[in-house]
Structure 1
Amino acid sequence: MRLSKVLEALGGSLKKYIDEADPELTGIQMDSRKVNPGDLFVAISGFQIDGHRFIQEAIDKGAAAVIGENELELNVPYIQVFDSRLALGRAASAFYHHPSRRHTVIGITGTNGKTTVSYILKHILEHAGRSCSLLGTVSYIINNEVYKPSNTTPDALQIQELMAKSNDEFVVLEVSSHALKQYRIEGLELDYGLFTNLAHDHLDYHPTIEDYFEAKTLMYNYMKPDGSAIVSRLSEWGDMLADILKAKEIPVYSMGSDGNYDLNIEDIRLNGETRFEVQMGGVVYPLTFPSPGQHNVYNAAMAFLTAIKIGISPEVITDALKTFPGVPGRFEMISHPEGATFIVDYAHTEDALEYCLHAAQEHDAVKIKHIFGFRGERDKTKREHMVKTSAAMSDEFILTFDDLNGVSEVDMENELKELNERFGMNKGSVITDRTLAIQYAWENANMGEWILITGKGPEEYQSLYELPASSDKDTLLYLQKQHGKEKIIG
């Protein structure tokens, strides 16, 4: 592709380009180490490293042109832009011939539920005989190949590369607030924009909850001309968003309960199997869903409404929901030899913890125990509320390490002890080694108890712990195996 085509795509992000050269571009890179002869190099002003420092290295490796924000004179064509991140998305979309136009693209934003809704939708679509790629927290799945994710939402260059690689009819994409603020979906065009909910999270990155909400609304700037929004109005944030979108003349389909919505959720029954009804246009559809908890009723209902709008028949959707296999690290159950139930979940907000603990209550757990921690250098304002929630809804809890992210073990241990003393209601304890915390719960588990391990879900540990395990699930499987050995020895 010629550089002139990229320049056309930059639009208002272009600040200055006076060179008349129009080289043929062979690729786009934002990492100077990956530059090959003929590539366009985009210098990003990162949070830790400034890509402008590596422009000469990119040129030495054969970069045919450079995009950046600084005033520079180079011996290759240089395009100065107002924001390199925004320019990267537009340039990558143009280079890969706007691949989102070849797919039906479903973007999902919200604090909780993005991953589960995306997996439910993928399952429904494939059950209906349609092909679907998925880009999200747990994995990237393209043409049935699974890739390990770098972020909840890939960077703008990677998104366009993956979209171009996909031969699937649909692409379902989790869209985080960080991605929206950092223009990672710039250059994408969405057919459907889903909003699940908004809860207290990421206030280390966003100065206020209002700023966090505003970031979520940015996703709807990327709708195709005939695109539409699917909005959960189970909270005031959903109501606010629906009003904003209607003012922008974006079609909105809403779900809720006890109101005038496109989909109404009714008659929720959560003992044992999850059963509920949805009512659309005067027709009632009884649904069965394998995953426990009221939050999963909301997730399944949103997927149902979206699939209906896509054109999947209610009968196919109903049948697909019955066979949903679940999501790795999302309310994933591991059996205990004494009849206890261990749950691994990614929940890391007050609302998400409440959903998980409430699900245990709904299933008549004899006792609820909870293991969780906090990530260093992340939103500290939610920690007090999370401890209060666990103390109120569980019988016992253990505070332990999550990713420390540069915070010293001593400082994190002191904070855990302080939180426990102030808000633990005499129910909590601190075991800093995460694997030993899980082992303690395992060795003291009894029939009918539910033990929830939250915060990391399927993610691998960043720290080294006592037991030879790489994740929460891996720790439980190790303990299961050790129990088997003990039985053989005995």
Structure 2
Amino acid sequence: MRLTKLLGILGGNVKAFYGKGDPELTGVQMDSRKVKAGDIFVAIAGFQTDGHEYIGEAIEKGASAIIVEKNLEHSVPTIQVSDSRLALGKAASAFFGYPSRKHKVIGVTGTNGKTTVSYILKHILEQAGKSCSLLGTVSYLINNEVYEPSNTTPDALQMQELIARSNDEFVVLEVSSHALKQYRIEGLELDFGLFTNLSHDHLDYHSTIDEYFETKTMMYEYLKSDGQAIVSQLTSWGSKLSGVLAKKNIPVQSVGYNNQDDLKIEEITLNGQTRFSITYNGQKYSLTYPSPGLHNVYNAAMAFLTAAKIGVEPEIIISALKNFPGVPGRFEMVDHPDGAKFIIDYAHTSDAIEYCLQAAKEHEAAGIRHIFGFRGERDKSKREEMVKASARLSDEFILTFDDLNGVPEEEMIAELKALNERFGKNKGKIIPDRTLAIQYAWDTAVQGEWILITGKGPEEYQGIYQLPTNTDKETLSYLHEMKNKEKVIG
């Protein structure tokens, strides 16, 4: 691609152009260490490092041109833009040949439920005989190969590269608010845009909940001309989004409890197994879903409506939902030898915690305990609500470490103590070592009790703990193995 052609693609984002010549560009890079001769290097001012500091290295490695935000002139043609992240998305999409146009692309956004809805959709599509890639929090799945995720939504360059690599008919993509704000999906074209819900989260990044909502609505700017919005109107934010999209003449398909919704949820039974009915296209269907909780009714309903709009027969969707194997680290159940149930979940907002704890109540748990912590250098404003939710719905909660992210242990322990003193209501306990917190619950578990471990899901520990394990699930497996050995020795 010639530089002049790229200038046209970048359009109004271009502020100035310095230098002479129209070199043939062979690739695009945002990491100076990966630059090869003929590449264009995009300098991005990140949160920890500034790409402008590595322009010299990129030129030494053979960069034919550079894109910058700062007013800098160099020995190669230089494009100054208003936003380097936006430019990266546009450039990457062009260099990889606009790969989203070769697939049916489904974007899923919302505070909670993105991962579960994405996995359910992938499962339904595959049960219908279709191939499907998935890019999300747990992993990137392309052509039946698994890649470790860098973020919930990959950066713009990796995004375009992964989709270009995919030979699958469908691509399901979790879209985070950070990704939208940072133009990581710039250059993509979506066939469907799903909105699950919105609640208090990431207000360390977004100034207000309204600004957070506005960011989420940005996803719908990437719909194809015939694209559709699938919106859960089970919260006021969903209803608000439907109104916003209607004003933009974007077709909205809704999930809700009302007759005017395209899919109406009815007759929910949560005692022992999740069963519910829906009305869609004038027909009533009875559904069974293996994971407990009202929130999973909502997740399954969103996936049903989307799959139906794609053209999957309702009978296939119903069968797929019934045998859905679940998502690693999303309400993942582990049985205790004495009849208790341990649940591992990624829940890290007060709403998500309420969903999990309420699910235990709905399924008549004999007792509910909750193990959780907080991430250092992340949104502190949601911590009180998380503790309040746990104090209200659990019989005991154990505050422990999550990822400290550089926060001193003493500082986090002090905050745990302060929160426990304010909201514990004699229910709280503090065990900083996460593995020992889980061990305490394991050793004292009784029949019929549910113990929820939230915040990490399938993620590996960043801290070093006393038990020789790397994840919450590994910790439970280790404790189970130790208990079995005790029985043999005994």
TM range (shorter): over 0.9
Distance 1:411 1:259, change over 3 A: farther
CA deviations 1:387-408 (Å, max 9, x no partner) are 1110110001100000011111
What are the residue-to-residue correspondences of 1:25-424 with 2, within 5 Å? 25-424=25-424
What is the CA–CA distance in structure 2 between the aligned matches of 1:27 and 1:207, rounded to whole Å? 36
Residue of structure 2 in register with 1:469 after alignment: 469
Three-state SS of the structure 1 residue aligned to 2:286 is strand
TM-score, normalised by the number of residues in structure 1: 0.99
1:108–1:118 Cα contact (<8 Å) kept: yes
In structure 1, give the amino acid aligned to 2:296: N
CA contact (8 A) 1:372 1:453 kept: yes
In the alignment, the residues of structure 2 paired with residue 460 and residue 6 of structure 1 have an alpha-carbon distance, to the nearest angstrom, of 41
Q: What is the alpha-carbon distance in structure 1 between the residues aligned to residue 4 and residue 275 of structure 2? A: 56
Amino acid at match of 2:191: D
TM-score (norm 2): 0.99
For residue 18 of structure 1, report the CA deviation from its aligned partner: 5.0
Give aligned-pair identity as a percent: 71
SS at match of 2:463: coil
Equivalent-residue separation in structure 1 for 2:23 and 2:96 (angstroms) = 17
Q: Which runs of 4+ in 1 moved over 4 A?
A: none
Q: Displacement, 1:363? A: 1.1
Deviations 1:264-290 (A, max 9, x none): 000001111211011012210111111
SS of the equivalent of 1:229 reads strand
Letter in 2 for 1:436: L
Is the 2:19–2:75 contact (alpha carbons within 8 Å) kept by the matching residues of 1? no
2:215 & 2:363 partners in 1: Cα distance? Answer: 36
**Contact 2:18–2:73 (CA under 8 A) maintained in structure 1:** no
| Cα shift at 1:448 | 0.5
Contact 2:180–2:215 (Cα < 8 Å) also in 1: yes
The answer to whether the 8 Å contact 1:189/1:223 transfers is yes
Q: Please give the secondary structure, in 1, of the residue aligned with 2:451.
A: strand
> The residue matched to 2:178 in structure 1 has which SS?
helix
Q: Tell me, yes or no, if the aligned pair for 1:377 and 1:407 is still in contact at 8 Å.
A: yes
State the shift of 1:68 in Å. Answer: 0.7
Task: Kindly state the Cα deviation for residue 19 of structure 1 after the two structures are TM-superposed.
Answer: 4.0
Residue in 1 that maps onto 2:456: 456
Residue 248 of structure 1 aligns with an amino acid whose one-letter code is: K
Alpha-carbon distance, 1:475 to partner: 0.6
Residues 62-118 of structure 1, C-alpha deviation per residue, up to 9 Å, x if partnerless?
A: 111111111122111111111000000000000001001111000000000000000
Provide Cα deviations, 1:406-464, integer angstroms capped at 9, x if missing partner: 11100100110110111011101000000000000000001100000000101110100
How many residues align? The count is 490
1:378 is matched by which residue type in structure 2? R
1:187, CA displacement in angstroms? 0.7
Rounded Cα–Cα distance in structure 1 between residues aligned with 2:244 and 2:268? 30
Counterpart secondary structure, 1:191: strand
| Structure 1 residue aligned with 2:13 | 13
- SS across alignment from 1:382: helix
CA contact (8 A) 2:189 2:224 kept: yes
**Counterpart AA for 1:193:** G
CA positional deviation for 1:488: 1.5
CA contact (8 A) 1:43 1:68 kept: yes
- 8 Å Cα contact 2:109/2:196 also seen in 1: yes
In 1: Cα distance, 2:166 partner to 2:21 partner? 33
Report the 3-state secondary structure (helix = DSSP H, G, I; strand = E; otherwise coil) of the residue aligned with 2:380: coil
- Separation in 2 of the partners of 1:481 and 1:26? 54
CA contact (8 A) 2:89 2:185 kept: yes
Q: Is the CA contact (8 Å cut-off) linking 1:15 and 1:82 kept in structure 2? A: yes
Instruction: Tell me by how many angstroms 1:17 deviates.
Output: 2.1
Question: Is the Cα–Cα contact under 8 Å of residues 370 and 397 in structure 1 kept in the other structure?
Answer: yes
Matched residues in 2 for 1:378 and 1:149: separation? 20
Asked if the contact 2:373/2:399 (under 8 Å) is kept, the reply is: yes
Query: Contact 1:350/1:382 (CA < 8 Å) preserved in 2?
Result: yes
1:4 to partner: Cα distance: 2.8
Q: CA deviation at 1:8?
A: 2.1
Amino acid at match of 2:269: R
Q: Deviations over 1:211-233 (max 9, x none)?
A: 11011001111111111100000
Residue 25 of structure 1 and its aligned partner are, at CA, apart by: 2.0
Question: Which one-letter code corresponds to 1:268 in the other structure?
Answer: I
Give the CA deviation at 1:20. Answer: 4.7
Report if the CA contact (8 A) 1:6-1:95 is conserved: no
1:224-276 alpha-carbon deviations (Å, 9 max, x no partner): 11111000000110011000001000000001013410000000011112110
Residue type of the partner of 1:368? I
CA distance in 2 between counterparts of 1:23 and 1:141 reads 36
The separation in 2 between residues aligned to 1:74 and 1:330, in whole angstroms, is 50
Per the alignment, in what secondary structure is the counterpart of residue 309 of structure 2?
helix
Partners of 1:112 and 1:381 in 2: how far apart?
18
Distance 2:18 2:199 in 1: 47
Letter matched to residue 35 of structure 2: V
Aligned ranges 1:434-453 → 2 under 5 Å: 434-453=434-453
In structure 2, list runs of 5 or more residues that go unmatched. none
- Residue type of the alignment partner of 2:274: T
Checking the alignment, whether the CA contact within 8 Å between 1:434 and 1:465 is kept in structure 2 is yes
In the alignment, the residues of structure 1 paired with residue 348 and residue 249 of structure 2 have an alpha-carbon distance, to the nearest angstrom, of 35
